Amino acid sequence: MESAINFEMARQLLLSFAVILASGTFSVFLSQKLKVPDVAIFLIAGILLGPEVSGILHITVESALNQIILIFGACYILFDGGASIKLKVLKQIWITLFVLATIGVIIMTSITAIAAYYVMGLPLITALLLGAAIAPTDPATIIPVFRQVRIKERISQALISESAFNDATGSVLTFAVLSVAMGSAGFSLTASLADLLKQSVGGIVIGGAMGYLSALLIAHEKFDFLAKYAPVITLMAIIGTYLGADDTQTSGFMAVFVFGIILGNKESFGFRMNLREHKKLQEYVARTAMIMRMFIFILLGSQVDFSLMGKFLFGGVIIVTIFMLIARPITVILCALPDRRAKWSFKEMLFMSWTRETGVIPAALAGLLMGKHVPSAEIIAAVTFIAILMTILIQATTAKWLAGKLGLLELASRQL
């Protein structure tokens, strides 16, 4: 009897995978025809396939399969984004990046919390928890957008890097506020800052070490005996980097991103791959990243709870509108304008203000709060999904149009 149940479960999973791949392939074709980022079409496809509409796709948020797909998919997309970053560009914008990824998250949290406090009448601590949960930008969304919207290099790399580095800040801030909300006697501002430093530095060290080791094995002139297996080595290293960082209680996502930066800039460390193997690795990473996007955003769309969103729709839309049009621009101005070295123009800051999609990381934080049965967690989850829908369907789809109007599009094609 048990084997029959397991067989049926396996059959349903295979069917779900086939549905995701088929609908994802059609969505890619449609996104090319409509000239919009594919993540927006994936999200809509997921909504149509999910229990709220057709009921064809039903993989719950709590399932182990869902968690595996989200974690590994986000890791792979982060690696892909890190590999596109150029160290020489980071040297020009590192001050803005650091401030956005730290103080910027606090500013976003504070303004969003004030909006939630007055618009929805939430207790201040709950409003702060909501602000902290949705404050981080999402690399799984932003990286694919800049794969299709080719804008000036330093802007795209600043936004991609911010989305990778601010996850640790957002997570630590969420847990710090949660400690206060739950009346934890052990809460300490000093301990929270120390935890943020540990997660960040630890992630950078582990990611850097794994990136260097991988580059050594696939691109060194003497020790590149695994060059032909570069795609497999990369896949193993991504998993090992995330798990290694997670086991040491540091930021796994940051570690994977730094791993991508090191491998993508291997020439700077004296490594140079055979051109044929280099192209093979690039093609493999690009195709695999696209499959990961399909699974992540179709699943995310299928898990949107419209009945829950409907309860808090009016207040949620107002809060997210303030979040998009007031909190983000203020954050960008306060964090980027003082950076004399980067010398951001008004048009560049305007585009950065508009581009801050919400996605997998905030959804995961909201799900965690629901799992812990935090008071008013369902309100936080509802507003989070409203933010995901609004930012992806409005901001991501208009990014190319706005970049064109501001004269920020890059004419030359950029390497994947």
Q: Where are the domains of the chain?
A: 11-54+87-405
DSSP 392: I
Rounded CA gap, 43 and 150, in Å?
Answer: 22
| Res 408: pLDDT | 92
| Res 1: pLDDT | 58
Rounded CA gap, 359 and 134, in Å?
Answer: 9
Which of 204, 223, 104 minimizes the C-alpha distance to 163?
A: 104
Rounded CA gap, 155 and 93, in Å?
Answer: 9
Beta bridge partners of 151: 409
Q: Are 204 and 258 in contact (CB under 8 A)?
A: yes
Q: Compute the average pLDDT of residues 375-398.
A: 89
- Show the CA angle centred on residue 74, arms to residues 166 and 130, nearest 5°: 45
DSSP 151: B
Residue 157 neighbours by CB distance under 10 Å: 20
Helix (H) or strand (E) holding 132: helix 124-134
Phi-psi region of 85 (alpha: psi -120 to 50; beta: other; left: phi over 0): beta
Q: Count Cα neighbours of 239 within 13 Å in the Cβ-side half-sphere.
A: 7
Residue 179 has pLDDT above 80, yes or no: no
Rounded CA gap, 343 and 108, in Å?
Answer: 22
Per residue in 132-163, pLDDT (tens digit) is 989 988 777 888 888 788 888 889 989 988 88
pLDDT band at 8 (very low <50, low <70, confident <90, very high): confident
Per residue in 85-115, pLDDT (tens digit) is 888 888 889 999 999 988 999 999 999 999 9
DSSP letter string, 33-82: HHTS-HHHHHHHHHHHHSTTTT------TTSHHHHHHHHHHHHHHHHHHH
| Res 120: pLDDT | 92
Range among 135-139, 348-352, 356-360 with highest mean pLDDT value: 348-352
Per residue in 248-282, pLDDT (tens digit) is 888 888 899 899 989 888 888 888 777 777 787 88
The CA-atom distances, in angstroms, between 321 and each of 140, 385, 387, 403 are 22, 13, 9, 21
Rounded CA gap, 177 and 260, in Å?
Answer: 31
Which of 361, 334, 396, 344 minimizes the C-alpha distance to 100?
A: 334
Rounded CA gap, 413 and 410, in Å?
Answer: 7
| Res 118: pLDDT | 95
Bigger pLDDT: 169 vs 202: 202
pLDDT band at 11 (very low <50, low <70, confident <90, very high): confident
Residue 170 has pLDDT above 60, yes or no: yes
**Residue percentage of the chain with pLDDT more than 70:** 94
For 11-54+87-405, give the CATH class: mainly alpha
| Res 287: pLDDT | 86
Backbone phi and psi for residue 222, each to the nearest 5 degrees, phi listed first: -110, -35
Torsion of CA 324, 108, 159, 148, to 10 degrees: -30
Per residue in 324-333, pLDDT (tens digit) is 999 999 999 9
pLDDT band at 323 (very low <50, low <70, confident <90, very high): very high
**Residue percentage of the chain with pLDDT more than 90:** 31
| Res 221: pLDDT | 66
| Res 413: pLDDT | 43
Q: Are 247 and 66 in contact (CB under 8 A)?
A: no
Bigger pLDDT: 195 vs 213: 213
Rounded CA gap, 16 and 398, in Å?
Answer: 31
Residue 240 has pLDDT above 80, yes or no: yes
Provide the residue count of the chain. Answer: 416
pLDDT band at 416 (very low <50, low <70, confident <90, very high): very low
Backbone phi and psi for residue 151, each to the nearest 5 degrees, phi listed first: -110, 175
pTM of the model: 0.82
Residue 415 has pLDDT above 60, yes or no: no
Averaged confidence pLDDT in the chain: 85
Rounded CA gap, 290 and 416, in Å?
Answer: 12
| Res 188: pLDDT | 63
| Res 2: pLDDT | 60
Burial of 249 (0-12, 13-18, 19+ CB in 10 A): exposed
Which of 231, 235, 259 minimizes the C-alpha distance to 245?
A: 259
Rounded CA gap, 336 and 96, in Å?
Answer: 5
Q: 3-class SS at 15?
A: helix
Rounded CA gap, 263 and 287, in Å?
Answer: 18
